[in-house]
Amino acid sequence: MGLANKCHALINMDNKKIYFASDFHLGADAKFTSKEREQQIVRWLDKIREDAEAIYLVGDVFEFWFEYKTVVPKGYVRLLGKLAELRDAGIPIFFFIGNHDMWMFKYFEEELGIATYRSPIVRALKGKKFFIGHGDGLGPGDRGYKFIKKVFANKFCQWCFARLHPNFGIGLANFWSNKSREANTDEDVYLGEDKEWLELYANKKLDEQPIDYFIFGHRHLPLDITLKNGKSRYINLGEWMNYNSYAVYDGEELALRFFENPAGKVIRK
């Protein structure tokens, strides 16, 4: 039995809840410093541990991550320690690789016992069917990024990057990541059903199979969108640089909530 199946088998199907969060972007400062945000995330994990049936981290947990053979990026010890503590307590955790941490390899699986996924998955949870993935590279358009993603996924390109000294390689990657963030101008507003690419993707996917909930990150907005069939929903988890948003499912209701952010608002349609 693989690690993912072992984790899934551990889930206790009682009245506990399933939590989803994404886009912590640890390593980048925002409203708070990265360290302050990490402490905030640890407080959230402490809060949910008592009723957490499972936790899904849906990508871009780190602003950048690359696993050299014997080196991982400096920092994040509070988060890594807390995740190890939760796993040791028997709480299943599932990690989806995003566009900022796409060079995550086996570290989480081998050191923390956390199953990792590079592609979206479909999973039945408490009687509902979920489609879960970070969301990058899905839907129409964005051909430039889709090409770059293929380059980054290439084993030879990964080998070449691994030849760089970590001080230079990680520094270069963080510089590139910050420039990319500065160039992105569409993260703050809902673009409409004809332009929101993950909404378009989810509606198209409904033609192939019935899905109750599409859970994505990447978009950086807390979105709760009813899809074309009038009952399925696309949930975007938002991010923790400004919103501190996450989703929780108790078997009856799936809701977007905010941690230590009473002004947080969900965009609904």
pLDDT at 264: 95
Distance CA 10, CA 222 (A): 29
Half-sphere exposure of 25 (CA within 13 A, CB side): 23
User: Can you give the pLDDT at residue 15?
Assistant: 86
pLDDT for the residue 74: 76
Whole-angstrom CA distances from 251 to 31, 57, 181, 218, 248 are 33, 19, 36, 25, 9
Q: Among residues 23, 168, 195, 164, which one has the least CA distance to residue 100?
A: 23
Q: What is the pLDDT of residue 3?
A: 62
**Contact by Cβ (8 Å): 190, 70:** no
Task: Summarize pLDDT for 137-165 with one digit per residue, the tens.
Answer: 787 765 655 656 665 666 767 666 666 67
- Stretches in the chain below the pLDDT threshold 70: 1-14, 141-154, 156, 158-164, 166-187
Predicted TM-score (pTM) of the model is 0.85
For the chain, state the CA radius of gyration.
Answer: 18
Give the pLDDT confidence score for residue 158 in this predicted structure: 64
pLDDT at 72: 76
pLDDT of residue 68: 74
Q: State the burial class of residue 62 (Cβ atoms within 10 Å of its Cβ: 0-12, 13-18, 19+).
A: buried
Q: Which domains are seen in the chain, by residue range? A: 3-268 (3.60.21.10)
Angle (nearest 5°) at CA 38 between 130 and 187: 55
